């Protein structure tokens, strides 16, 4: 198994799915104390990461605009005020 990434390097999907897998493993596994503790601590960090991402996320808005060569460019855009 490769070395796990630091939780703050993970996107929501990765953090959430690892958290799910890890809880299953801890519930079912006959792991030695040291490994159990490691899973527990990582799980807590993953949960914090997930909540952080959910709380802080801001929709990013992009818009396609035709470029000169017949393709498209992406640019930021603001929806018109209501």
Partner 1 sequence: MLRRVSQLAMLGLQDRIWTPGELNRHVRQLLEGDYRLQDLWVAGEIANLSQPASGHLYFSLTDGSANLRCVIWRSEAEGLPRLPRDGEAVEVHGHLSVYEAGGQYQLYADRIRLAGEGELFQEFMRLKQKLEGEGLFDPERKRPLPRWPKRVGVVTSPTGAALRDVLNVLSRRYPLVEVVLSPTPVQGEAAPAAIAQALAALEACDVVLLVRGGGSMEDLWAFNTEQVVRAVAASRAPVVSGIGHETDVILADFAADRRAPTPSAAAELATPDRQDLAVEIGKLTRGLSRAWQGRRQVLHQRLGEARAALATLAPQARLAGARQRLDELAGRTALSLRHRLSLRRASVGALVQTLHAIGPLQVLGRGYALVRLSADQALVRSVGQVSPGAGLQVQVSDGSFSAQATAVPAETSEG
Determine, following the binding rule CB under 8 A, whether residue 9 of this chain makes contact with partner 1: no
- Total residues belonging to the chain: 82
1, 2, 3, 33: residue in contact with partner 1 (rule CB under 8 A): 33
Determine, following the binding rule CB under 8 A, whether residue 16 of this chain makes contact with partner 1: yes
Determine, following the binding rule CB under 8 A, whether residue 67 of this chain makes contact with partner 1: no
Interface with partner 1 by CB under 8 A: which residues? 11-13, 16, 19-20, 22-23, 26-27, 31-34, 36-37, 39-40, 43-44, 47, 50-51, 53-54, 57-64, 72, 74, 77, 79-80, 82
């Amino acid at each position: 198994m490769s070395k796990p990434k630091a939780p703050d390097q993970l996107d929501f999907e990765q953090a959430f799915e690892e958290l799910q897998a890890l809880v299953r493993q801890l519930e079912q596994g006959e792991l030695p104390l040291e490994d159990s503790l490691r899973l527990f601590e990582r799980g807590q960090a993953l949960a914090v990461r997930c909540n952080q991402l959910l709380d802080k996320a801001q929709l990013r808005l992009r818009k396609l605009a035709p470029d000169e060569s017949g393709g498209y460019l992406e640019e930021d855009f603001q929806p018109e005020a209501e």
